[in-house]
Every structure is written in structure tokens, then in C-alpha cells.
Amino acid sequence: MAKKKKTEPLMGETLLKKVKELGNLSKEEKARACGYYTVTKNGVERVNMMKFLNALIDAEGIELDSKVNGNGRGGRSASYRISVQSNGNLLIGSAYTKQMGLKPGDEFEITLGRKHIHLKQLGDFEEAEAS
């Protein structure tokens, strides 16, 4: 019997796209098709629904963890803090872009200060400011 090679579970936009493509399948079948399963020593597939559902939540940019903000109060509000990643990038995150109603392709002008980075959205807002 040939062993089936397990693929890495899908994440992010790829996961969301695949789930939509799978349409009317059960959530267990969707999780399996997206790679959220393990195979036991006896060859039995076990679906990991918790990992699948958590990956969906992350892919949608929903923040469920209650993080304490600077005031000592917990809540679901954005922290407005980010860190430089190992590759040098700054990732703002979908929570902020959704809050601002931004869409793919929206453009910004970047202005660097001594200790700040200013982003100014380009497009329709420039025309509104000019009038």
C-alpha cells in the first residue's frame, strides 16, 4: 500500500479561497481538503478541527485574544504597536486596514521622519482635501 504524502496545511488567503471553492462540503471535509489532518500509525486520518478553525480566524484577521492595552484594561481594540520583522518589513495587519476601509491596490505616500513614518493615503482623498 502506497503511503499518501501529507501536504502542509493551507493558511491565509489561500485557505480562504480553498474553503470557498469547496462550497457545500462539511466543515470536516473542508478541513481535510485544506490539510488539517494527521494520519495515525494504523493509517487512520484524524481531522484537526481546532487548528483548522483557528487558521480560518487568523486568515480573516479576527482578533479573539484579549490583550491588555496601556491603560491596564483588556479589550478587542487594536494595540497600534508593531515590530520590525526579521526580513526588515513592517506589517500593519488587516485589523487596521479593515478599520480604515482600505482595499487591495490602495496607495500611500511614505514620509520618513527622524523617529516616525507617516503614511498618507493617495487617491480620492487628495482631491477632497484640495477643494
- Does the residue 67 lie in any domain? no
pTM assigned to the model: 0.47
Beta bridge partners of 37: 47
- Does the residue 99 lie in any domain? yes
- Does the residue 30 lie in any domain? yes
Tens digits of residue pLDDT in 83-100: 888 888 888 877 788 888
Beta bridge partners of 111: 118
CA angle centred on 88, ends 83 and 93, rounded to 5°? 50
- Does the residue 119 lie in any domain? yes
* Residues 6 or more apart whose Cβ sits within 8 Å of residue 47: 28, 31, 32, 36, 37
Give the C-alpha separation, 87 to 97, whole Å. 21
Q: What mean pLDDT is predicted for residues 69-84?
A: 60
Total domain count, the chain: 2
Does pLDDT of 129 surpass 50?
yes
- Does the residue 2 lie in any domain? no
- Does the residue 87 lie in any domain? no
Domain residue limits at 104: 94-130
pLDDT of residue 6: 61
pLDDT of residue 30: 94
- Does the residue 77 lie in any domain? no
Does pLDDT of 111 surpass 80?
yes
